[in-house]
Structure 1
C-alpha cells in the first residue's frame, strides 16, 4: 500500500456522494447534534459527559490545532479503496453506522476550555455519543464528467470536515463510475487526533466486511476491539507514576543537548525555506518486490537483527556518503498498541523516540546494523512514555524535524487484496519545514514515501537520499551486505 496525498490517487469521473455522521437529538431540550451546549440527560439527547481523559498526543493535537489558522491547519489521514459491484446506498449507510458504533473514539469529542481557564492532567471536556445513536446522512452531488471536479470536491470536503475542534472530525465519500455495476470507490478521511497510520489501513477491510454482511453475502467476522478512550485514560494513569528520573527523559535530554535544544534534522541541505507557507512536496517509490524484501530481511536476521535496523543502517550509510554525517540521528514513531484488544482499534496509538548512533568507525554494514538495533531496542520502551509529558518535564517545545517511520503491514486483514482494490493510504497537505520518511513493508513489497519542504534544493536532496537508500537495500538483497565507504570506516 502506498502512502500519498489525494492528488496522487486516480480520482475518477462519476456520481459523488458524501456520507456525513450525525448524532441527532430526537426531541426535548438542550444539547445539539454536534455535542455543544448544555447536556440534556433525557434519552432524547445522545451525548453524555465523559470523564475519561484524552491521550497526551491527542491533547497535543487539539492544542496545536487551536493555535493554527489558514494553510497548514489541516492534518488528516485517510484511505481510498474500491468495492466490487453496484453501490447499495442503504446497505452502505448501515455498514458505516455499525463501524462507528464499533470504534468509540469516533463517537467522542474533546474540547479545550477557554484560555483563561487553566487545565492540566488531561482534564479537557469530553462528550461521547451512546452506541446506536450516530447515523450517516447521504448528500448526493450528481454525476460529474471530470475526475478533476471530483478531486476538488473531495479535497475541500476532507479539509473542511476533519478539524478536531468540531464533531464529526471524519467523513466518507463514494464515487460511482459510469459503469456502476463494476465497482465504486470509497474515500475516508479523519483528523490525525482520532486516527493513526495503522488505523487507516484497517478501514477498507472492515467497511467492506460490514457492507457485505448488510447485503447478505457473508458474515463480517470482525474480532472485538478496545476503546481508544480507555487507552487514553490508562495512559494518563500510568504516566502519573513516572518522575523526572525516568530513562526516557534522560534519552530525550541527551538528544536535545546534542542538538543545542533542537531535535535532529535531515542530514542534507534543504535550501532556503520560502517566505510564505507552501504545501510540501512528496514522493512515493516501490524499492523492493516481495522476494527482495524477504531477502533483505534474511540478510538482517543473519546479522542477528531485524528489517528496521537494516534499513536504518542503509540510511546511515546514505547520510555519511552524501553529507559526511558522522552520526545517524532521527525521531521514529512506534506503536503503543501494547494490548491485543487495541490491535484493531481506531485511534492514535503512537509514541515517538529518538534513534541515534555513530556512523564513523563502523568497519562493515553488519556493525552498523548492530549499532542501529541497540538504539531501536532502547526506543521501544522510551516511545511508551508520551513525548508531550517529557516536554513538560524538560521545559521544551522542540518538535521533530526528521522522522523515519517503519510499519510492517503484511498481515493486516485483506492486505493481499490491496492492489486489486486500488487501496491507498492518504494524507493531507503539510506546510512544515520538516522531512518525514515512511518505510512500509507490504504484501506487494517495500514502499518508501516522503514529504519535504517545497524547495528545489530539498527536492533534489531527498530524491538523492532515497535513491541511495534504494541502491543500498538492493545491494544487500544481492550480496547479503553493502560496501561502506571511507567516510564510514574512518
Structure 2
C-alpha cells in the first residue's frame, strides 16, 4: 500500500465501467429527511471552503487490483451493500443551509447500475476522462458523494473507489479496499458471510465528537492546548521553505512520493528503534526534526500532527473523516542527535494524544473567546501525517497492490505523509506546484532519507550542524 497524487496512481488503459445510482435512487435521495446530527468540525470547515468556491476537486480515492474475473452483477450488488453498510456514504449536506443540514439516504432506496464510460476524446487512454468523471460526479452537496469504477484487465480488474473528503480519510480508503475486495470475492463464490456490524456509524462519531467538545473532559484537556499553542505564540507552523507563492495565495497542488528506506533498510531501522525503546512515531518525528533543523537551523520543531480519532474498536471500521489536528512541538537538544530528538518527541506525542480528545476547532474557539489565537484561523495549516499501513497491507489479497490517492486541488501549504507499509518507509509531499517549492522539498526528501538510513545502519544520528544559541527560529 502507498499513497500519492491521482495523476501518479490512477491508470485506465481500458474502458472503465462506472457503477452509479439509478435515476430513481438519486431522486429518492433528494427527498431524504434532515438528520438532527450536525456535521463534524472537520466537515464544517470543508463544507464552508467548498461552498465558498471556486469549485475544485476534493476527493480521496483508492485503486486495488482484484484478480478474479469481473462480474458486473456481482460488483453492482457489492457496491450497494457497501454503501448501505456505511451511513456516511449515504449522506449529503444542504449547501443553502447556513448550518449545512445533514441528510441521510435510507438504505432501502439504494439501487445501482453499471455503464461504460464514453470514449475518450483523444487516444486510447481513459485516465483523464475517468478523472474528469470523478470531478463532476463527486460532491458533498448532492448524493452520491462517492463514485466507483472498474477498469478491466487481463484476468481481473482494478477497482477504483473515490469519495469526497467530507466522507473519507486515508484509513477509510485502506479499509474500503479490504472490505470491497472481501465482499466481491465472497459474493462471487456464492458465500453468504455474516459480516460483523460496523463498529460505529459516522453519525455516532459526529454526535460523540460534539460531546467531547464540551463538558468536563474538554475542561481537563483544554489547558494542554492553551499551553502548546502558547509556546508557538498562537500561530500555526510556517512552511520550512519559501514555496514561491505569496502569503495565503493558493496554487495548483502537486503530490510527489519518494522511497525513504528499502526493505532491508526498513528491517534494520525497525530493529534500531526497538533497541532504543522508541515507537515508530517517536522515531519518525525525531528524524523529521533533525532533517528540518539541518536545512533551516530552526531550533524548535513545530508541526501539526494529523491523528486518527477512532478510539479503539468502536469506530475501527467506520467510513468517514475521523481525525484531529494536534500540535507537536519540542526544542532541538543542545546535542542534536536522534537519541535526543526521539526522546523529546515522546513527550510531545504523549501530550498530543491527550489533546486529541478535544477537537482542534473547539480548542481554538475557546482561545478566540479569550481574545487570543486570531492568526490560527487566518491561514491554511501545514501538517504531518504518519501512516502505519502494515495491518491493512497484510490483510489484502496477494497482488492487490492497493494505492491510495487524493485529487490535486489547490493549496498554499505543505502536507507531509510518512508511511510504513508491508516492506518500506515512504514519503509523500503535497505542495504548491512551483519550481522553487519542489527544488527545496526534493532536498528535504533527500535529507530525511539520509537521516533515516544512518539510523538504520548505526542506530543513531548526530546532526552535521552544531546547535548555537540564536542560530535558528522556532516559527
TM-score, scaled relative to structure 1: 0.87
Question: Does the C-alpha gap of structure 1 residues 323 and 154 become closer, same or farther in structure 2, counting only changes over 3 Å?
Answer: same
Asked if the contact 2:87–2:203 (Cα under 8 Å) also holds between the matched residues in 1, the reply is: yes
Offset, 1:280: 1.7
Offset, 1:89: 0.7
Asked if the contact 2:238–2:382 (Cα under 8 Å) also holds between the matched residues in 1, the reply is: yes
Task: Supply the distance in 1 between the matched residues of 2:292 and 2:124 (Cα, whole angstroms).
Answer: 39
- Counterparts of residues 114-129 of structure 1 (less than 5 Å): 114-115=97-98, 119=99, 124-129=100-105
Task: Supply the distance in 2 between the matched residues of 1:398 and 1:275 (Cα, whole angstroms).
Answer: 8
Pick from 30, 33, 45 the counterpart of residue 28 of structure 2: 33
Specify the alignment match of 2:371 in structure 1. Answer: none
Offset, 1:84: 1.6
Pick from 163, 185, 188 the counterpart of residue 215 of structure 1: 188
Q: For 1:131-160, what per-residue CA distance to the aligned partner results, in whole angstroms no more than 9, with x for missing partners?
A: 332122222136669777411111111112
Offset, 1:274: 10
Task: Supply the distance in 2 between the matched residues of 1:279 and 1:482 (Cα, whole angstroms).
Answer: 36
Aligned residue for 1:329, secondary structure, equals strand
| Greater CA drift, 217-226 or 467-476 | 217-226
Offset, 1:266: 2.2
Aligned residue for 2:166, secondary structure, equals coil
Question: Does the C-alpha gap of structure 1 residues 199 and 22 become closer, same or farther in structure 2, counting only changes over 3 Å?
Answer: farther
Q: For 1:342-376, what per-residue CA distance to the aligned partner results, in whole angstroms no more than 9, with x for missing partners?
A: 11111111011010111141353211110011101
1:374 aligns with 2:359: no
Pick from 454, 458, 461 the counterpart of residue 479 of structure 1: 458
CA RMSD of aligned residues (A): 2.6
Task: Supply the distance in 1 between the matched residues of 2:395 and 2:120 (Cα, whole angstroms).
Answer: 31
Asked if the contact 1:271–1:455 (Cα under 8 Å) also holds between the matched residues in 2, the reply is: yes
1:426 aligns with 2:405: yes
Aligned residue for 1:279, secondary structure, equals strand
| Greater CA drift, 456-465 or 386-395 | 386-395
TM-score, scaled relative to structure 2: 0.89
Aligned residue for 1:132, secondary structure, equals helix
Aligned residue for 2:426, secondary structure, equals strand
Task: Supply the distance in 2 between the matched residues of 1:147 and 1:369 (Cα, whole angstroms).
Answer: 51
1:101 aligns with 2:84: yes
Question: Does the C-alpha gap of structure 1 residues 374 and 433 become closer, same or farther in structure 2, counting only changes over 3 Å?
Answer: same
1:195 aligns with 2:168: yes
Asked if the contact 1:4–1:449 (Cα under 8 Å) also holds between the matched residues in 2, the reply is: yes
Specify the alignment match of 2:426 in structure 1. Answer: 447
Question: Does the C-alpha gap of structure 1 residues 275 and 246 become closer, same or farther in structure 2, counting only changes over 3 Å?
Answer: closer
Offset, 1:161: 2.0
Asked if the contact 2:266–2:423 (Cα under 8 Å) also holds between the matched residues in 1, the reply is: no
Pick from 200, 204, 209 the counterpart of residue 235 of structure 1: 209
Q: How many residues align?
A: 461
- Counterparts of residues 258-407 of structure 1 (less than 5 Å): 259=232, 261-273=234-246, 277-362=250-335, 364-395=337-368, 396=374, 397-407=377-387
- Counterparts of residues 86-165 of structure 1 (less than 5 Å): 86-115=69-98, 119=99, 124-141=100-117, 149-165=125-141
Task: Supply the distance in 2 between the matched residues of 1:157 and 1:10 (Cα, whole angstroms).
Answer: 13
Q: For 1:420-476, what per-residue CA distance to the aligned partner results, in whole angstroms no more than 9, with x for missing partners?
A: 223200101131110011011111211211111122111111111111111111110
Q: For 1:202-244, what per-residue CA distance to the aligned partner results, in whole angstroms no more than 9, with x for missing partners?
A: 1122112111222225555743312111111111123231588
More helix by share: 2
Asked if the contact 1:415–1:443 (Cα under 8 Å) also holds between the matched residues in 2, the reply is: no
| Greater CA drift, 347-356 or 212-221 | 212-221
Asked if the contact 1:14–1:145 (Cα under 8 Å) also holds between the matched residues in 2, the reply is: no
Aligned residue for 1:379, secondary structure, equals helix
Aligned residue for 1:345, secondary structure, equals coil
1:412 aligns with 2:392: yes
Offset, 1:269: 2.8
Asked if the contact 1:16–1:140 (Cα under 8 Å) also holds between the matched residues in 2, the reply is: yes
Q: For 1:371-409, what per-residue CA distance to the aligned partner results, in whole angstroms no more than 9, with x for missing partners?
A: 011101111121221112122222242455321110112
Task: Supply the distance in 2 between the matched residues of 1:185 and 1:145 (Cα, whole angstroms).
Answer: 22
Task: Supply the distance in 2 between the matched residues of 1:317 and 1:488 (Cα, whole angstroms).
Answer: 11
Asked if the contact 1:199–1:346 (Cα under 8 Å) also holds between the matched residues in 2, the reply is: yes
Aligned residue for 1:334, secondary structure, equals strand
Q: 5+ residue gaps in structure 1?
A: 26-30, 37-46
Asked if the contact 2:212–2:357 (Cα under 8 Å) also holds between the matched residues in 1, the reply is: no
